[in-house]
Amino acid sequence: MVSRLSPPCEALRKQGYQFFAPDSSAAVKPCLWCKKALKGGEMCYKHQFYGIESHRCVQMTPTLRCNHRCLFCWRSFEHEHPSERDCPPEEILARIPALQKRALSGYKVSPSVTGERFSQALDPRHVAISLSGEPTLYPYLPELIDLLTARGFTTFLVSNGTSPWILKKCRPFQLYVSLPAPDHASYLKICRPLDDFWENIRESLALLEDRRSAVRITLVEGLNTFMPERYAQLLQDSGARYVEVKGYMYLGYSRKRLNREHMPEHHRVKSFAAAIGERCDYCITDENPASRVVLLERVP
């Protein structure tokens, strides 16, 4: 008999998560920007920064498991299923179009969705492995990414950096490592990790040189909006091509842990990004106030 996922996963299903199988937490969930773009509206900052078309982007995760309990995470921490099955990469690849179609089918009847855009959305070109959970805890991640690449998808992999030995084997189009804090003590306070992974994160950051890569910093007002010089040093050592400094958004389950005042205004995000940039070889090249995100690029 197939064991079913726990009731919290049922709650996620109601929020629009499409699970690949009843006994797996691998899931797809189109983001707000995908739906906006489908209706001919604005696309997300990844279109502005990197040319990704939002309505042709699949936001997914191969697992909802995570070894962090970040205060700013939008997921709940109660939905992990100890006996969940890891879907094989071939199963994930095969089911992506059907799940994306199911998730978007309600939009077909909208007068602002053209037939052409809807067909394009059902033929996605990009996979963002970034929905929720830590993808390196899925045992077949390198194989999944290689399979997606072989099928012509571009891939963004977003990791919390706790498993550098897995990241070494992954070849996504663009690799992200999150840097949640400027120092060890703040990391423990903000991410509440199941083990102390700070040195692993530093090791993962060091893997970013000489490849298409980005560091993601989520700024939570008062919790990690200090010591720009420490961030600068970590970025300088990483050699990543891009840095995204993004304001925390008061969304999902994070509202149970934080409050609205933890969301920095865009001008705060920008001035903090500038303060980091002044202290290392990165400079601001773009920004998107709607998403409260600032892009820095490494100066050659």
The rounded Cα 214 to chain-centroid distance in angstroms is 11
Please, how many CA atoms are within 13 Å of residue 125, restricted to the half-sphere of its CB? Answer: 10
Q: Give the nearest distance from C-beta 13 to ligand SF4 in angstroms.
A: 18
Cα–Cα distance for residue pair 225/180, rounded to 1 Å: 10
Q: Which is nearer to ligand SF4, 179 or 235 (CB)?
A: 179
Q: Which is nearer to ligand SF4, 134 or 221 (CB)?
A: 134
Q: Give the nearest distance from C-beta 63 to ligand SF4 in angstroms.
A: 10
Please report, for residues 74, 83, 267, the alpha-carbon distance to residue 25 in angstroms, rounded to integers and kept in the order given.
16, 10, 37
Q: Please report, as residue ranges, which positions from 101 to 160 form the binding site for ligand SF4 (by CB under 6 A).
A: 132-134, 160
The 3 state secondary structure assigned to 83-127 is: CCCCCCHHHHHHHHHHHHHHHHHHHCCCCCCCHHHHHHHCCCCEE
Q: Which is nearer to ligand SF4, 66 or 208 (CB)?
A: 66
Q: Residues 299, 277: contact at Cβ < 8 Å?
A: no
Cα–Cα distance for residue pair 7/11, rounded to 1 Å: 6
Q: Please report, as residue ranges, which positions from 37 to 66 form the binding site for ligand SF4 (by CB under 6 A).
A: 66
Q: Please report, as residue ranges, which positions from 173 to 212 form the binding site for ligand SF4 (by CB under 6 A).
A: none
Q: Give the nearest distance from C-beta 264 to ligand SF4 in angstroms.
A: 17
Interface residue with ligand SF4, options 55, 68, 241, 270 (CB under 6 A): 68
Q: Which is nearer to ligand SF4, 35 or 68 (CB)?
A: 68
Which residues, 6 or more positions from 211, have their beta carbon under 8 angstroms from its beta carbon? 175, 241
Q: Which is nearer to ligand SF4, 17 or 118 (CB)?
A: 17
Q: Give the nearest distance from C-beta 117 to ligand SF4 in angstroms.
A: 30
Chain residues binding ligand SF4 by CB under 6 A are: 66, 68-70, 73, 75, 132-134, 160
